[in-house]
C-alpha cells in the first residue's frame, strides 16, 4: 500500500490535511499522527476491524489494550461507564496532557480495542493536530505508540516512516514530540488509584490533585502488582546488548572500567549518559542525552538515542541509571525495560 506522508508546520494544522486524514479514520484506515508524548498509530476506536488492523500492523499481542484518545469531556462520558468524580478532577488539572486514565468501558468501545478487558484507557492529548483530528473525525481514536512492537517509541515522523512506510494509510509529520516518553497511566477502577506506568506527570502531582496518598499495595510482591498488560513485554528495546550502570557513588568509575574492557579487546562499545560524563566514554562512541538535571531534555532525547544505536549498528552499550535522579523515575523505568533488566 502507498503511505501518504503529510508534512505540516508544527502546530499549524492545515485544513486539507485534517480533512483527508479524518476521512481515512472514518473509513476504517490507519493514520500515524503526532502527540506531545510520542507519535501514535491511530484508527477508529469504535470499530473492531480497525482495532484489529492496528494490532496486525504493529505486530502487537492482542491481549495488550490500546489507549483511546478523546477531544472533549462528552467523548469521555460516551466511552466510559460509572463514576467519573476522580477522573473529572484529574482532567481539570492535567487534560489535555500526558495522563491516561483507566476507567470502565461503555458499549461504544469494543473488546477488540481493549484487548478483551472491560476497562478502557482514555487520554485527551495536548498536541493540537491530534485533538483536531479526533474532532474532525467525530470519533474517539485508538492509538498505541507508532513503533513496531518491542522497538523504541517514535518521537519524530521519520521514526514512524522507518517502521511503517508502505504498511499504513498515512503519516502526519508535525515535527518532534515535545515530551518524548509515553503518558503516565493511572488506574481509577479500584478502591485506590494505582499508577501502572510512570510518565511526565508524577505520583506527587496526582496525589496533590486528588488530595490522597497513592500507595503501592504492600501485600503484593513486585511481580504481582497490577501493571498495564503491555508492561510485561520487552519494550523500547534497541537491538544491541544494553546494560544499565547502577547508580552507586562510584558508577562513573565502574562505567569507565567496563568500557575500557571492551576497548582493550578492540570491540566497539557505546556509552549513553549526560554531557557532563562525556570523559568517562574514553574511546567509546558517546551518546549524549542532554545536560544532567535537564530531565525534560533527557526524556525528549531518550528514544531517538536508543534508535540511533540500531542505525549505528552498535552491539553493546552502557547507560547511566536515572532511578535515583530527581524526576528520573519514568526515564529509569523505560531504560530498565529497554535493557531487558540488565543492570551492572
Ligand atoms: O503517550 C501515550 O500514552 C502514547 C500516545 C500515542 O498517546 N500511547 C501509548 O500507547 O503509549 P501504547 O499502546 O504504546 O501503550 C499503552 C499501554 C500499554 O502498556 C497497555 O497495556 C496499557 O496502556 N493499557 C491500555 N488499556 C489498558 C487497560 N484497560 N488497563 C490497563 N492497561 C491498559
Ligand atoms: Mg508503546
As a whole number of Å, the CA-based R_g of the chain is 20
Query: Does ligand 1 lie within 6 Å of residue 229's CB atom?
Result: yes
Query: Does ligand 1 lie within 6 Å of residue 182's CB atom?
Result: yes
Q: Is the pLDDT of residue 50 over 70?
A: yes
| pLDDT value of position 290 | 98
Query: Does ligand 1 lie within 6 Å of residue 199's CB atom?
Result: no
The residue ranges of DSSP E strands in the chain, in sequence order, are 4-7, 31-33, 40-44, 67-69, 80-81, 99-105, 119-123, 141-142, 170-173, 184-187, 194-197, 241-245, 270-273, 285-288, 316-320
pLDDT in tens, 286-311: 999 999 999 999 999 999 999 999 99
Q: Which residue's alpha carbon is at the smallest distance from atom 15 of ligand 1?
A: 144
Q: Which residue's alpha carbon is at the smallest distance from atom 17 of ligand 1?
A: 230
Could you identify the atom of ligand 1 that is nearest to the CA of residue 183? 1
Question: Residue 144 C-alpha to ligand 1 middle, in angstroms?
Answer: 6
Query: Does ligand 1 lie within 6 Å of residue 185's CB atom?
Result: yes
| pLDDT value of position 332 | 96
Query: Does ligand 1 lie within 6 Å of residue 38's CB atom?
Result: yes
DSSP string, 44-64: ETT-HHHHHHHHHHHT--TTS
Q: Is the pLDDT of residue 51 over 70?
A: yes
Q: Which residue's alpha carbon is at the smallest distance from atom 25 of ligand 1?
A: 65
Question: Residue 188 C-alpha to ligand 1 middle, in angstroms?
Answer: 14
Distance CA(235)–CA(61), nearest Å, equals: 13
| pLDDT value of position 236 | 81
User: In the beta sheet, which residues pair with residue 185?
Assistant: 100, 197
What does DSSP assign to residue 343? B
Give pairs for 18-22: CB < 8 Å, separation 24+. Answer: 18/129, 18/132, 18/133, 18/136, 19/136, 20/170, 21/133, 21/170, 21/172, 22/133, 22/136, 22/137, 22/138
| Ligand 1 pocket, mutate which of 182, 195, 225 (most atoms under 8 A from CB) | 182
In which residue are the cell numbers 562512541 written? 285
pLDDT in tens, 243-262: 999 999 999 999 999 999 99
Query: Does ligand 1 lie within 6 Å of residue 143's CB atom?
Result: yes
Distance CA(95)–CA(150), nearest Å, equals: 28
Contact residues for 341 (Cβ-Cβ < 8 A; gap 6+): none
Distance CA(112)–CA(63), nearest Å, equals: 9
Ligand with the closest atom to the CA of 134: 1
pLDDT in tens, 220-244: 555 555 567 776 666 788 899 999 9
pLDDT in tens, 142-191: 999 999 998 999 999 999 999 999 999 999 999 999 999 999 999 999 99
Question: How many CA within 13 A on the CB side of residue 24?
Answer: 22
| pLDDT value of position 13 | 80
Amino acid at each position: 500500500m502507498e503511505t501518504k506522508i503529510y508534512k505540516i508546520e508544527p502546530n499549524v494544522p492545515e485544513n486539507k490535511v485534517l480533512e483527508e486524514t479524518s476521512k481515512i479514520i472514518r473509513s476504517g484506515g490507519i493514520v500515524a499522527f503526532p502527540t506531545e508524548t510520542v507519535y501514535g498509530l491511530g484508527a477508529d476506536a469504535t470499530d473492531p476491524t480497525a482495532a484489529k488492523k492496528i494490532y496486525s500492523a504493529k505486530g502487537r499481542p492482542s491481549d495488550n489494550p490500546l489507549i483511546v484518545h478523546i477531544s472533549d469531556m462528552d467523548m469521555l462520558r460516551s466511552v466510559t461507564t460509572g463514576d467519573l468524580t476522580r477522573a473529572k478532577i484529574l482532567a481539570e488539572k492535567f487534560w489535555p496532557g500526558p495522563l491516561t486514565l483507566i476507567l470502565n468501558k461503555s458499549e461504544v468501545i469494543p473488546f477488540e480495542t481493549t484487548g478483551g478487558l472491560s476497562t478502557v484507557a482514555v487520554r485527551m492529548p495536548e498536541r493540537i493536530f491530534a485533538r483536531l483530528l479526533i474532532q474532525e473525525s467525530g470519533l474517539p481514536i485508538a492509538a498505541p505508540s507508532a513503533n513496531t512492537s518491542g522497538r523504541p517509541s517514535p518521537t519524530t515522523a521519520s521514526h514512524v516512516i522507518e517502521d511503517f512506510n508502505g504498511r499504513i494509510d498515512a503519516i502526519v509529520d508535525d515535527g518532534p514530540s515535545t515530551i518524548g516518553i509515553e503518558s503516565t497511566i493511572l488506574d481509577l477502577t479500584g478502591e485506590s488509584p494505582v499508577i501502572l506506568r510512570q510518565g511526565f506527570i508524577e505520583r506527587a502531582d496526582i496525589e496533590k490533585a486528588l488530595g490522597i496518598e497513592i500507595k503501592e499495595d504492600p501485600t503484593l510482591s513486585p511481580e504481582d502488582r497490577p501493571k498495564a498488560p503491555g508492561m510485561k513485554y520487552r519494550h523500547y528495546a534497541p537491538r544491541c546488548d544494553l546494560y544499565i550502570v547502577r547508580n552507586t557513588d562510584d558508577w562513573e568509575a565502574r562505567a569507565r572500567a567496563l568500557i575500557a574492557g571492551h576497548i582493550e579487546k578492540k570491540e566497539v562499545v557505546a556509552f549513553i549518559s549526560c554531557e557532563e560524563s562525556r570523559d568517562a566514554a574514553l574511546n567509546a562512541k558517546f551518546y549524549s542525552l542532554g545536560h544532567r538535571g535537564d530531565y525534560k531534555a533527557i526524556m525528549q532525547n531518550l528514544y531517538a538515542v536508543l534508535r540511533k544505536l540500531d542505525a549505528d549498528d552498535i552491539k553493546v552499550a552502557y547507560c547511566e541509571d536515572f532511578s535515583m535522579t530527581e524526576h528520573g523515575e519514568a526515564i529509569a523505568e523505560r531504560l530498565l525495560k529497554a535493557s531487558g533488566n540488565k543492570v551492572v
